[in-house]
Chain A
Amino acid sequence: MILEYTIAALLVIAGFFGLVGSVGLLKLPDQMTRLHAPTKATTLGVGGVLIASMLYFYGIEGTISFHELMITLFLFLAAPITAFFIARVQLRNHVAERDLPKPERSGTRWAGHIGQDSAAD
């Protein structure tokens, strides 16, 4: 009984965070801030479903299920790389180099802006 409530609660929490991630995607003002909502709020969303799934199979079906851990692993590999790609394209095409803080060592540039005309600086 308690187990069922726990699983239900985890699913509701997961659904809530998934929803918030999507709301953020609609609400936040520009491309870069919008990138924050789906990369974070959804991690707990997916995580909650996966923990609920493992609990369900262990507590109610009586079998041990752990390939949910693989989904977590793939998510943790894929999410930062996707976010990085989107951020990089946004940086290169829509953000001027002068609007960014300088890299620590003077004379160096951000890799994403190399090969672009720096005359705008």
Chain B
Amino acid sequence: MLRKLFPHPLLTLVLTAVWVMLVNVLTLNALVFGLILGTIVPLVTAAYWPDRPKLRNPLKIIEYILVVLWDICVANVQVAAIILFKRNADLSPAWVSIPLELRTPEAITILAGTITMTPGTVSSDLSEDGASLLVHCLHAPDPKATARDIKSRYERRLKEIFE
């Protein structure tokens, strides 16, 4: 019964939180209306979520978010330094192919998004079998090390969360 009413409990929570944030006041009124939306929207869109990923380790998400936020701050300073102080001739941009161990599409999407938001890297393409990710680096004298960093810092954590 509860499962039928809330086919996607996480989506219900997210929608409620989003509604409260959009209204920008934390009142019972906003909370109840958010919950109503959070109930109706998953019910109506359930057909479009054929298989949703299981979160094996939801608490790790917080750790992941903190790591990524910190890296974004560092990335900003690094990229700013490259832009301001490095001559274009000294720049060594490179393409890197990263072998993926992740299989969940949602996890790969998050990984690709994270790569774009962090130090001097933009994810650009996926191989046809979904097993490698093509990443462009702004300044990578050692592309292999960049690939290793991404795998150990982000992919390992995502694997713990999703698989």
Q: Give residues in A with beta carbon < 8 Å to B.
A: 17, 20, 23-24, 27-30, 32-33, 35-37, 39-41, 43-44, 47, 64-67, 69-70, 73, 76-77, 79-81, 83-84, 87-88, 90-91, 99-105, 108-112, 114
CA distance A91 to B128 in the complex (A): 15
Other A-B contacts than A79-B117, A110-B128, 4 sampled, CB-CB below 8 A, are A39-B116, A41-B83, A70-B18, A108-B131
Task: Chain A residues near B117: list those with CB within 8 A.
Answer: 39-40, 43, 76, 79-80
Contact, CB under 8 Å: A80 / B113? yes
Contact, CB under 8 Å: B76 / A65? no
Q: How large is the interface on B (under 10, 10 to 19, 20 to 34, 35 or more residues)?
A: 35 or more
Q: Which of these, B88, B120, B132, B134, contacts A29 with CB under 8 Å?
A: B88
B interface, over-half SS? mixed
Q: A32 with B136: in contact, given A43-B117, A70-B18 (CB under 8 Å)?
A: yes
Task: Chain B residues near A102: list those with CB within 8 A.
Answer: 97
With both beta carbons as reference points, the residue of chain A lying nearest to B98 in the complex is identified as A104
Stretch at the interface among B20-28, B37-45, B155-163: B20-28
Task: Chain B residues near A28: list those with CB within 8 A.
Answer: 83, 88, 91
